[in-house]
Amino acid sequence: DTAVSQTPKYLVTQMGNDKSIKCEQNLGHDTMYWYKQDSKKFLKIMFSYNNKELIINETVPNRFSPKSPDKAHLNLHINSLELGDSAVYFCASSQDRGKTPAKDTQYFGPGTRLTVL
């Protein structure tokens, strides 16, 4: 069974479109994250939710909006896509939100490669 899954794996779209990436974890974790890895391979956190509550929001343009319908899902909606949004987006989850190292291990999904034309 896949622990953290993302759909789609590849997403190619035109500038100005609105798109969503879905993430699901079956680990029973309370905290989920979105990271962005750009063309230079820098991996940077975007958002984190703990039990459906937003706890990290890293100066991401408000065109990006995470939505957590329940604690097993954290979807990423992107409005008015721009060329610079092209990247690989990784979802991750952890048992806890940063209180104890034993529960903080983050498990990452396989990534979604977004290409904006």
Partner 1 sequence: DAKTTQPTSMDCAEGRAANLPCNHSTISGNEYVYWYRQIHSQGPQYIIHGLKNNETNEMASLIITEDRKSSTLILPHATLRDTAVYYCIVRVGYGGATNKLIFGTGTLLAVQP
Interface contacts to partner 1, rule CB under 8 A: 4, 31, 33, 41-45, 48, 55-56, 58, 90, 92, 94, 96-101, 104-111
H helix or E strand, kind and range, residue 47: strand 43-50
Return the number of the residue (79 or 106) whose C-beta is nearest partner 1. 106
d(CA 16, CA 13): 9
| Smallest separation (angstroms) from partner 1 to the CB of 86 | 16
The least CB distance from residue 115 to partner 1, in Å, is: 15
Which CB sits closer to partner 1, 15 or 54?
Answer: 54
Provide, rounded to whole angstroms, the least separation between the CB of residue 62 and partner 1.
Answer: 20
Q: Parallel, antiparallel, or unpaired for β 53-57 and 64-70?
A: unpaired
CB of residue 100 to partner 1, shortest distance in Å: 6
N-to-C CA span, the chain: 34
3-state SS class at 110: coil
Please, which residue, 14 or 102, has the CB nearer to partner 1? 102
Find, among 21, 22, 29, the residue nearest to 71 by Cα: 29
